[in-house]
Amino acid sequence: MKQVLRKMVPTLALVVPRLWQKLGLRRAFFAWFERKDCSLGRTGGTGQETSGLMHEELFTPDHPIHKPAGPDAQAYADYLRMTVAEKATRVTGTLWTQDARLSYPTAVHTTAQGIVLDNYPSKSVLHNPKYALPQAVVGLRKPVQRHASGFLMQTSWAHNFYHWTIDMIPRLETFLTDPTLRGTPIVMSERAPKFARKSLDLIAPNRPVLWLPDGVHAFETLAIPANLSTYAVVSAHAMKFLKDRYLPALRRDLKGFTPPGRRVYVSRADAAVRRIHNEPQIEAELKEMGFVSVVMSDFSIAEQAEIFAQAESIVCAHGAALANLAFCQPDTRVLEIFQQGHRSRAYYSISGLLGLRYGFVLGQPVGNDIHVDPPVLRDVLAQMDLC
């Protein structure tokens, strides 16, 4: 029976989300949540208190893109630049909510005032049955523990290094500067990855942390910080916090570390997907231009940040390691390798905010990996004055 169920998992993973959408359940759940949400942007009548309120204009600076020739690359460049002309004012800060319930491992919540959608990395999270179904029943389940207060730090997607670094760490600004939060514990899941635990030790030493097991937890008062960035556009204020507050905290843990080189190729040899299929060939090409190959899992989070902070040029396939671009110096050259058909604007947005020189190449899918054409790579690197 177990073998049968195990074989059914891949099929169910494909079928359930499609049925969820086809039957209209996704739309119905999201509409229900929308009627019961609360937001920093419209707090009237909800009764919650707020702190650290900030209005920030989110935008992607207009900056050049170095790219290969051809219509496919142009389509990618057009996609990356979609948000250049768009500007939106985002209200961020922390909401103090009452009678809150938090469910791990999915980190969905409900409060007396409603669901704080500002807390999620994107409202689209609730389109996914993985989060929407636990959200629907969190208020009905019996709490496994009850707590007086907490500052919600680990939320949906925080297990990912990119989202933890870019989305979560900047939310600590209010926590570190608001005296009313001095005795409030940070709320984290026991499943938190090692990099999250270490980063909290470095940037918030000696501050209490509630490490919660899976299940529903009830809070008399739960401080819920909003995400500064949107899914597509990164917050300039978040970048400033990472450079000014987080990087110095990381550097205190370096213990005499010296980065391996100024030109860095970040290999994804330790990853499950988006590895470079012809990596020996690409590494040989890059070595001739003075690049040193590194695998990020060989280094601590402080060492990773310093590698990027000291680099003059970085080549890397799209992945969470590029969150370390937040620590780069202006005019650092960044070449992102995309797998054809997979797109993201995050690192183009960060590059524009920090004044980095950005380029990309497209590689052909080989299973879950990427084949990169060496002449195409050399052409874009030449545009960036790297060969």
Please, which pLDDT band fits residue 240 given cuts at 50, 70 and 90? very high
Cα 345 to its chain centre, rounded Å, is: 12
The domain ranges of the chain are 13-42+89-232, 60-86+234-387
Region 341-365: what's the mean pLDDT? 95
Region 345-357: what's the mean pLDDT? 96
Region 291-309: what's the mean pLDDT? 97
d(C-alpha 123, C-alpha 113), whole Å:
18
**Look-up of token digits 């060969």:** 387
Prediction pTM value: 0.87
- Rounded to the nearest 10 degrees, the angle between the axes of helix 25-35 and helix 2-22 is 70
C-beta atoms surrounding 241 within 10 Å = 21
Region 227-237: what's the mean pLDDT? 88
Q: Which of 217, 227, 213 is nearest to 150 (CA)?
A: 217
Give the pLDDT of residue 129. Answer: 82
Give the pLDDT of residue 103. Answer: 94
Q: Which of 161, 35, 150, 154 is nearest to 106 (CA)?
A: 154
Q: pLDDT (tens digit, 9 = 90+) per residue, 252-264?
A: 999 889 999 999 9
Q: pLDDT (tens digit, 9 = 90+) per residue, 29-82?
A: 555 555 456 667 654 444 467 888 888 988 899 999 999 999 999 999 999 999
- Tell me: pLDDT of 4 over 80: no
* Backbone φ and ψ of 217, nearest 5°: -125, 135
Q: pLDDT (tens digit, 9 = 90+) per residue, 77-124?
A: 999 999 888 888 888 889 889 999 999 999 999 888 888 888 887 777
Give alpha helix (H) positions in 116-168.
129-137, 161-162
Give the pLDDT of residue 224. Answer: 93
- All residues at 6 or more sequence positions from 207 whose CB lies less than 8 Å from its CB, including other chains: 175, 185, 186, 200
Give the pLDDT of residue 45. Answer: 40
CA-to-CA separations, 51 to 166, 230, 371, in angstroms, rounded: 21, 20, 49
- Tell me: pLDDT of 16 over 80: no
- Tell me: pLDDT of 338 over 80: yes
**Average pLDDT of the residues of the chain:** 88
Bridge partners (DSSP) of residue 22 are: none
Give the pLDDT of residue 17. Answer: 64
Bridge partners (DSSP) of residue 101 are: 110, 218
Give the pLDDT of residue 49. Answer: 77
Region 352-377: what's the mean pLDDT? 95
Q: pLDDT (tens digit, 9 = 90+) per residue, 151-166?
A: 999 888 888 999 999 9
Give the pLDDT of residue 296. Answer: 95
Please, which pLDDT band fits residue 131 given cuts at 50, 70 and 90? confident
- Both tokens of residue 254? 């370096």
In terms of phi and psi (left: phi > 0; alpha: psi -120 to 50; beta: otherwise), the region of 256 is left
Give the pLDDT of residue 172. Answer: 94
Region 338-353: what's the mean pLDDT? 94
- Tell me: pLDDT of 211 over 60: yes
Residue by residue, DSSP assigns 301-367 as HHHHHHHHHH-SEEEEESSGGGGGGGGPPTT-EEEEEEETT----HHHHHHHHHT-EEEEEEEEEET
Q: pLDDT (tens digit, 9 = 90+) per residue, 166-176?
A: 999 999 998 99
Give the pLDDT of residue 54. Answer: 85
Give the three-state DSSP class for 269.
coil
Give the pLDDT of residue 23. Answer: 59
- Tell me: pLDDT of 2 over 80: no
Give the pLDDT of residue 19. Answer: 62
- Both tokens of residue 318? 């799209």
- For domain 60-86+234-387, the CATH class is alpha beta
